[in-house]
Amino acid sequence: MLGGVAPIERAEKAMASMHEKLNSEFGIALLWPPYEQGTDRVRGTSTFPPGAKENGGIFCHANTWAIIAAAMLGWSDRAYQYYRQILPLAREDADRLMVEPYVLLPEHLRPGSSAVRYGSQRWLTGTASWTYVAGTQWILGIRPSYDGLRIAPAIPRDWPGFRAKRVFRGVTFNITVKRQGEGNDVSLVVDGKPVEGDVAPLPPGKSEVEVEVTLS
């Protein structure tokens, strides 16, 4: 999905299967069911307890790519669901995690794991940086492109919109997004003038622009 090589039917089928087989309220597992004992074929993976690390654990770092893939498909509600599942501020089980309640974890143990600790390896930055990218560039949809600032939100259907400010190549883009329908089709108005597509171009000789985005 991320590489753009899968036909849309296959991408949708793969993402639907992932959601059905691997997702939980705590995030998406790497595999399920886990290996219950060591095997020579998979070796290191099967040496971890079931539900821990590569043996069926929930890698939050990899969950961020599922957020992006869902947003690319236009599955905005599901992208936000995956985002919330790993977001520290949305959790109410800090005592079970046994780690700081405000830290994004690179991975934690799937419920039912035989390991004692639920959360582990906090303060590694891969998950934090990719969660930021997934949230800002794909759910909010504000990301750089060669021709200008692309604004293609995949926000949940019940969001009325949002406002954001993004400095890009020395230009401040003041962005107002309003939802007028349940889809993700974008209409742009830049400084009062309609723009084709979803890219706000860099204005010659200006340091600030107003961008109005309508989702339908």
Quote the pLDDT of residue 120.
67
pTM score of the predicted model: 0.91
**Looking at the predicted structure, is the pLDDT value of residue 117 above 60?**
no
What is the pLDDT averaged over residues 66-83? 97
Strand 23-24 vs strand 208-215: parallel, antiparallel, or unpaired? unpaired
| Confidence bin at 113 (pLDDT 50/70/90) | low
CB atoms under 10 Å from CB of 45, counted, come to 17
CA gap 193, 197 in Å, rounded: 13
| Token couple for 181 | 């329908």
pLDDT in tens, 153-195: 999 999 999 999 999 999 999 999 999 999 999 999 999 999 9
| Token couple for 204 | 């010659």
Q: Which domains does the chain have, with CATH numbers?
A: 8-137 (no CATH), 146-215 (2.60.420.10)
Question: How many residues would you count in the chain?
Answer: 216
Q: Is 6 exposed, middle or buried (0-12, 13-18, 19+ CB in 10 A)?
A: middle
CA gap 199, 115 in Å, rounded: 48
| Token couple for 26 | 């705590």
| Confidence bin at 106 (pLDDT 50/70/90) | confident
**Looking at the predicted structure, is the pLDDT value of residue 116 above 60?**
no
**Looking at the predicted structure, is the pLDDT value of residue 79 above 70?**
yes
Please tell me what DSSP assigns to residue 55: B
Scan for tokens 């004992």, then name that residue: 37
| Confidence bin at 107 (pLDDT 50/70/90) | confident
What is the average pLDDT score of the chain? 90
Q: Is 17 exposed, middle or buried (0-12, 13-18, 19+ CB in 10 A)?
A: exposed
Torsion of the alpha carbons at 68, 195, 185 and 132, rounded to the nearest 10: 20
